[in-house]
Homo-oligomer: A and B are copies of this chain.
Amino acid sequence: MVHELKSFVRGDFHAGDGARADLVNPSTEEVLATASTEGIDMGAAIAFARETGGAELAKTTFADRGAMLKALSKSIIAHRDELLDLAMKNGGNTRSDGKFDVDGASGTLEYYADLGAELGATNVMIDGEGAPVGRSARLFGQHAFVPRGGVAVHVNAFNFPAWGLAEKAACAILAGMPVVSKPATSTAIVAHRMTEIFVAEKILPPGVFSFLAGGAGDLLDKLGGQDVLAFTGSHATGKKLRTGAAVLERGTRVNVEADSLNAAVLGPDVEEGSDTESLFFTDVTRDMTQKTGQKCTAIRRVYVPRARLEAVVAELEGRLAKVKVGDTAHEDVTMGPVSTAQQHKDVKAGIEKLAGCSTIAFDGGAGGKQPLGQKDGKGFFLFPVLLVCESPRPGDAVHTHEVFGPVATVMPYDSPEELVRLVGAGGGGLVSSVYSDDKAFLKKAVLGIAAFHGRVTIGSAKVAGQAIPPGTVMPQLLHGGPGRAGAGEELGGRRGVGLYMQRVALQGDKALLDLLLGSPAR
């Protein structure tokens, strides 16, 4: 059943004209749907969102919007099985991968729904304590986040159609900004279905949420100084968005999450068979293979004390050998294909690039192993690959080239100082993790690599039983990173809401400021 995805703009579903892109099942290459935005008037779509949606949201408070997010979350939960099924078909996800995406979406919406309730019946959020600015206490300065008059355009990556849509929309809508959401076309079926559900359940006022199935066309040319453009995807596309007239000429606020060579570090104190070691192995294996390695937070680099190199590689090989690759319609499969033919090609080329400075220690597909359920050689299947780079150096491909698949490189280090230098050579990342119970080492390693990251997780014995893996993005913690990772910041509770508001300093008579601000969120 090939169906045509429609865009939801100006309060209605619209099919595009012209050439349509095919959306396939990456396990079978069967075409599931087509999409096109040709002929859709992007200017009118943006104007409707900004004006109609903006006016609707201007009438609401954080608490009202929190209630909307709660309803969105519930609607996803109510259609969970259907969405998981679509994620498996269009994304090559296992059911577990699908849950990571779909439950991540409903969970993040719920978190921001609760934050909306907490922020309360106002649309202004206070930023820090105010202070006198003159000689007397009367002349006062107060920073606050106030609603912007613009629209939020969200350009999402192919790997998280549900979560990507939800985490960005949650922050923007809670801030009071209407959303135009554009998922990557190749895996847009889940996001499209979510949009249909949101619309059918009439959760959001007109214009608050729009959706594009297909290319962005000239959408970005329509943005101005009050708008926000948030993008998750490749460095190359991020660069294109950053050099558009909207950003350069009109100062559209832009937030980019791009490439990231996330590292996992095993501390020198961690003993064989310890809880901390076990957590390390579990995390590395999961964050290499979950979603077939197609996570911006996946572990790409593994640093271990030189003396442990051989043992760690052997253990990881053993664990990776148990991964069952194949069509996720097949019950036994624990890792599906990558999502597109292009990804498949890129990962293969990337492994070759890494092999220039490393050796392949383990290839899950060695010996002509075939994916489970594969038919006629179809499908974008990849087996996990573990490389070892014995003498890592900053300029090496392993520190500069992200391979977006189930691939990681293990490297030795000799001192905390060398470790920090090597992790930093990744040029800035989203998240890295350090596994240790040695406080002196943790202090050097964690604080040393912190400047290169938006998030650092510590795996230690006391939290081993309840740890949240580094690759799992929590709504209450920042998601983003400096340098190569795009220099952006999303989520992090209120911080993510602030991205869609204007921070302004108000200066004047304190009594008057208090009166103007009413009872803002504190």
Q: Which residues of A contact B (CB under 8 A)?
A: 124, 128, 131, 133-136, 138-139, 141, 143-144, 146-149, 224-226, 239, 242-243, 247-253, 424, 427-428, 439, 442-443, 446-447, 450-460, 462-463, 466-468, 470, 474, 476-478, 482-487, 489, 492-495, 502-509, 511-513, 515-516
Contacts and interface: CB of A to CB of B under 8 A. Distances in A.
Nearest to A254: B487
Contacts of A493: 128, 131
B224 A483 contact: yes
B462 A509 contact: yes
A149 B463 contact: no
A505 B251 contact: no
Closest 5 interchain pairs by CB?
Answer: A225-B483, A458-B508, A477-B505, A251-B483, A455-B505
Nearest to A464: B509
A482 B138 contact: no
Contacts of A252: 483, 487
Given A139-B467, A456-B504, A457-B506, 8 more contacts: A131-B476, A143-B495, A251-B485, A253-B482, A452-B502, A460-B509, A463-B509, A492-B505
A508 B459 CA distance: 7
B239 A248 contact: yes
Q: Is the interface of A mostly helix, strand, loop or mixed?
A: mixed
A467 B226 CA distance: 29
A503 B491 CA distance: 13
A143 to B, nearest CB: 6
B466 A134 contact: yes
B460 A508 contact: yes
A476 B141 contact: yes
Most chain B beta carbons < 10 A, residue from A253, A476, A489, A513: A476
A247 B462 CA distance: 41
Contact of A507 (B124, B149, B458): B458
Nearest to A127: B495
Given A451-B502, A483-B224, A507-B456, A478 B143 contact: yes
Contacts of A507: 455-458, 468, 470, 474, 477
B251 A447 contact: no
Contacts of A505: 454-456, 477-478, 492
12 contacts: A133-B468, A133-B474, A141-B477, A146-B451, A224-B427, A250-B427, A251-B484, A252-B483, A456-B505, A457-B506, A460-B512, A474-B507
Contacts of A470: 507
A286 to B, nearest CB: 16
A245 B451 CA distance: 21
A436 B192 CA distance: 50
B512 A251 contact: no
B504 A454 contact: yes
A51 to B, nearest CB: 13
B225 A482 contact: yes
Nearest to A437: B512
A477 B133 CA distance: 8
Given A483-B251, A489-B503, A138 B462 contact: yes
Given A427-B225, A477-B141, A485-B251, A516 B455 contact: no
B451 A226 contact: yes
Given A146-B451, A516-B442, A251 B476 contact: no
B466 A135 contact: yes
A219 to B, nearest CB: 18
A143 B428 contact: no
Contacts of A450: 144, 146, 502, 504, 506
Contacts of A459: 508
B458 A509 contact: yes
A141 B475 CA distance: 11
